[in-house]
Each structure stands twice: as structure tokens, then as C-alpha cells.
Chain A
Amino acid sequence: MPRIQKTETSTKLDVLAGTRHKQLHVLLLLCAVLFAGCATTRPNSAGVDSVDPNEETNRKFYNFTDTIDRNILAPVADVYIKYVPDPMQRSIGNFYDNLAYPNVILNAFLQGKVRQGFQDSLRFVVNSTIGGGGLFDMAAPMGLPQHDEDFGQTLGVWGVKTGSYLFVPLIGPSSYRDAPGIPVSLFSNVLFYAGSVASLAITGPVAVLGIVDKRARLSGPMRIRDQAALDPYLFVREGFLQQRKHLIYDGDPPPESYDDPLDDVVQNAPAATPLR
């Protein structure tokens, strides 16, 4: 089955909402990345890609994350995929989607999708109650389908430009426009508040399982990357940026949003640099 990049963008961010300590860590990292990014932004000169002026730093973060992924997360996710029965995997996935769903509701309203916002609220209530705390998606058959919204998309709808690309260590591909969505999804995740009610002995393992679930769901796109990419960093970057645009238009972009590769051929024809 060809599944391309479908979930590459739904990064592992919200599951990192495990413990207070982790949250702080993530926020600190985020600040570090953002500031490092700002400091190294420079005008578009020869050799610097305008969408990725921080490519050097981003590649380091990508390689770091990839090493951790290949050595720790991927093997764990492979075992999970192999031994946990599909229906159980689905329920576990539903559970974490439901915990993170307030983010979808919030952003549906922020984008002015009032009707969808109320439907999403109802979906959250239905799945949290008769759906067994989110384990079963009882809302979809009732005509309340799952939507995909986040703060980065909201900023996009509001007209904020993508800005430079960012690869956030351990979290994944992002951009100046999408990075503010990381804390928003963190604070709108039910798991974030569970920490103050339940003990670490409960929220800790729940958070860890959430990371495994997210990674397992990314295994399809990761496999495509490994099979197709000549330069995995660029493959992830381009795939991410394009798919974000697709999501901002809710999967239905207007014809004028199509980036015709021919434009580029025409524009850059005289400026070609000699090949090695």
C-alpha cells in the first residue's frame, strides 16, 4: 500500500507531555532552537536555501534525532508493531488522539470553523465517555469524523507565512510558523494536566507508551523515506513543507496553490551554477 508522508507531520510532540520535567526540557530545547535560529538567519545569498537558512544546524539536529530514533525508538516500535495485536494498537492510538483532541477543537474555533468546532467538542465528549476514555472511536460512526488541526495550521489560515524550516531535536520537522504550535499542543493535551492529579508512576509509563504509539504510526512514512530518499534530510524537509500546505487547505488546495516546478526552471535558468 502506498502511503506517502501521511503522518510525517503529526510529529511526536504531544506525547512528550509526560512529566513536568520533560515539558520543561522540551520548552527549553525549543527556546534554544528558536534563538539559535534567529541568530543565524541571514539574507539569502548564494548557496543558502531561502526556506532553510539554518540548514547546517538543522542537519545536525536531524542526524542526532535520527541516531536516537534508529537505535532506541525504531527497534521498540518494531517490536510493538509486531507483537501488539492490530485492534489493540488502534485503541491505544485512539486513546492518545483523544487526549490530544482539545488542540483540534481549539484550533477549529481559532480558524473560524465554528460548526466543526462544536462537532469536534461533541466528538471529544462522546469518545471520552461511551468510547471508554477514548479507547474506541464511537463518534466517527455517529457522523463526527476526526479532524486534523493545530496551531501552525491556524497561523497559516490567518495568513502567516511558513518562515524558515526548523528541525526540532527529538520532535521532528517544523518551521517558524509551526514551532509555536508545539507549546500550544502541549498545554492543550489532557496528559499535561494528568501529571498534577495522578502520580508519576502512572503518567510516566502512559507518556512512554504514547511515544511508542506515535513512532509506530510513523513507521510507514519512515519506510518510504528509507526506500525513496537520496538525501533523507531534504526528503523529510520538502515532504513536510508540502504536506503542511496541504493540511492548511484541509487536503483540498486550490489550483493556484500548486507550485509548478516549471516556474523554477524558467526563473533559475540563467543562474545555474556549474556542475562538478
Chain B
Amino acid sequence: MKVLHAIKAVLRLQIIVMMMLVAPGSWAETAEPGSPKEVVNRLHEALLKAMREGEKLGYQGRFELLAPVVDQTHDLDFIARTTLGANWTQLDATQQRTFTDIFRKLSIGTYAGWFKSHDGERFEFVEQQSMPRNQVMIRSKLVPLKGEPVRFDYILRQGKEGWRIVNILADGVSDLALKRVEYRAILQRDGFPKLIDMLKKKIALTEED
């Protein structure tokens, strides 16, 4: 945690210095603490760190590095609930807790599994847009040294704890929408225990190379 605080402090200092010195229009210029842009920025910084130090940290190290950042930048409870849609209310409290917990592990594990090595990639901010229901979309792209950039668009909503990511679209494919369709089908077809079982297997898969 100390390391994270140090990074945060350095980042904040950088932002202030940049605001004072650098011409307006840069990424950091309007990224006030807690703003949608800053939330996404914080996630990106953590992902880049996980990539740069990926090998040294290993899967577990990356998971531990990303877990607090994902918790602070995503509204995972909300995402988990929305993923199940109307089925959520049909689960009892224990099942809801089990699902939320597994879902959190899968979300962080997926990041830790994918962002594990760095080859000059960088994130670029594209734009911020207002969305219906007081949501905000932050559009960005992951630019590799070679090849095509991948678009990462984030939907954020303001909850009790400030702005949080509630959906991610990778090249236009909505993570939440994809999971929603799959989870709902499996719940209806195979039931809750089977869904949990399948998700556990997927978490195990994220640890593999």
C-alpha cells in the first residue's frame, strides 16, 4: 500500500507540475482527482505498471497490485448485479455474495492474465462524452508499437463513492453485454451452482500463460 501511496503522491505532483508548466490540452490537465478521466487514468497507470513489471511480479503479484486499483476504479457490485439482470433478485443473500465475490476475482484475474508484459504499449485519451442516465464515456486507445491500436471505451457512473467504471467496451464489444447474455443463458439452462463452477474454472484459466 505504501508503494501505491507513493505512486499516487508522485502522480499528483506530476499533475500539478504539468498544470503549471505544460500547455493545456494534455491528458493530465483536466484530470482532477476523482473525475471520470482521472479514474480511468489511474486504472491505466496500474495496468501499465502490471505490464512493465509483469514477469517479475508473476500472476499473483499482478493480481495483488491490481486488486485495490480495480476495487477503487470499478463499481464491481453494480457490474455483478447488472450482469445478472432480473435474475439477481431471485438469488438469496448468500448466493448474491458468492456471485459478487467470484465475479470480483474473475474481473481482477482477467486484467492480471492479459496485462502481463510490456512491449512499448501506451494508453491514449481520445475524448469524454456525456451518456444517458448521467453516465460518462471515456474513450481511449491502447497503442502498441506495431500494429493496430485497440479501442478501450469506459462507461462511468457516479455512485456513493464517486465516479466508478461500470462497463468497458473493447473495440466496440461491451464486456457487460457479453457476460449478461452468457450468464443469463447458463443460469436459466444449468442453474446457479453450475454458473459458479464455470466461473471458477475461468478464473483458473486466467492464471495460465
A sample of 21 cross-chain residue pairs with beta-carbon separation below 8 angstroms, ordered by A number, consists of A4-B171, A6-B148, A230-B183, A230-B195, A230-B202, A242-B172, A242-B177, A243-B173, A255-B137, A258-B131, A258-B137, A261-B174, A261-B176, A265-B82, A265-B85, A268-B85, A271-B86, A275-B87, A275-B91, A276-B190, A276-B191
Contacting residue for B133 out of A6, A256, A260, A275, CB 8 A:
A260
A197–B132 Cα distance when bound, in Å, is: 57
Interface status of B182 (Cβ within 8 A of chain A): yes
Contacts A238-B177, A265-B82 supplied; 17 other A-B pairs, CB < 8 Å: A1-B114, A2-B114, A2-B115, A5-B171, A6-B148, A6-B171, A227-B205, A230-B186, A230-B202, A237-B181, A238-B178, A243-B173, A246-B172, A260-B132, A261-B174, A275-B87, A275-B187
**Interface membership of chain A positions 222-260, coded 1 if the CB is closer than 8 angstroms to chain B and 0 otherwise:** 000001111100110111001101110001010110111
Interface status of A72 (Cβ within 8 A of chain B): no
Across-interface contacts of B181 in A (CB, < 8 A): 234, 237-238
* Chain B: CB-nearest residue to A242: B173
Q: State whether A235 and B174 are in contact (beta carbons under 8 Å apart), knowing that A2-B150, A265-B82, A274-B90 are contacts in the complex.
A: no
Across-interface contacts of B131 in A (CB, < 8 A): 255, 258, 260
A1 adjacent to B187 (CB under 8 Å): no
Using a CB-CB cutoff of 8 Å, which residues 145-165 of chain B contact chain A?
148, 150-151, 155
B178 adjacent to A258 (CB under 8 Å): no
Across-interface contacts of B137 in A (CB, < 8 A): 255, 258
* Chain A: CB-nearest residue to B144: A1
Across-interface contacts of A230 in B (CB, < 8 A): 182-183, 186, 195, 198-199, 202
Contacting residue for A261 out of B82, B121, B130, CB 8 A:
B82
A275 adjacent to B191 (CB under 8 Å): yes
Across-interface contacts of A237 in B (CB, < 8 A): 181
Interface status of A21 (Cβ within 8 A of chain B): no
B119 adjacent to A1 (CB under 8 Å): yes
Q: How many residues from A make CB contacts under 8 Å with B?
A: 41
Give the 6 A-B CB pairs with smallest separation, nearest first: A246-B172, A272-B86, A4-B170, A276-B191, A2-B114, A230-B182
A268 adjacent to B86 (CB under 8 Å): yes
Interface status of A201 (Cβ within 8 A of chain B): no
A30–B44 Cα distance when bound, in Å, is: 44
A276–B133 Cα distance when bound, in Å, is: 33
A275 adjacent to B188 (CB under 8 Å): yes
A276 adjacent to B188 (CB under 8 Å): yes
* Chain A: CB-nearest residue to B179: A230
- B residues at A contact (CB < 8 Å): 82-83, 85-87, 89-91, 110, 113-115, 119, 121, 129-133, 135, 137, 142, 144, 148, 150-151, 155, 167, 170-174, 176-178, 180-183, 185-188, 190-192, 195, 198-199, 202, 205-206
Contacting residue for B129 out of A229, A246, A251, A255, CB 8 A:
A255
**Interface membership of chain A positions 212-227, coded 1 if the CB is closer than 8 angstroms to chain B and 0 otherwise:** 0000000000000001
A239 adjacent to B150 (CB under 8 Å): no
Across-interface contacts of A1 in B (CB, < 8 A): 114, 119, 121, 144
Interface status of A273 (Cβ within 8 A of chain B): yes
Across-interface contacts of B150 in A (CB, < 8 A): 2-4, 6
Across-interface contacts of A235 in B (CB, < 8 A): 178, 182
Across-interface contacts of A3 in B (CB, < 8 A): 150
A239 adjacent to B178 (CB under 8 Å): yes
Across-interface contacts of B89 in A (CB, < 8 A): 269, 272
Interface status of A84 (Cβ within 8 A of chain B): no
Across-interface contacts of A245 in B (CB, < 8 A): 172
A251 adjacent to B182 (CB under 8 Å): no
Contacting residue for B171 out of A228, A246, A259, CB 8 A:
A246
* Chain A: CB-nearest residue to B193: A276
Across-interface contacts of B174 in A (CB, < 8 A): 242, 259, 261
Across-interface contacts of B87 in A (CB, < 8 A): 272, 275
**B184, chain A: closest CB distance, angstroms:** 9
* Chain A: CB-nearest residue to B167: A261
Across-interface contacts of A5 in B (CB, < 8 A): 170-171, 173
A73–B167 Cα distance when bound, in Å, is: 34
Across-interface contacts of B205 in A (CB, < 8 A): 227
B86 adjacent to A229 (CB under 8 Å): no
Across-interface contacts of A238 in B (CB, < 8 A): 173, 177-178, 181-182
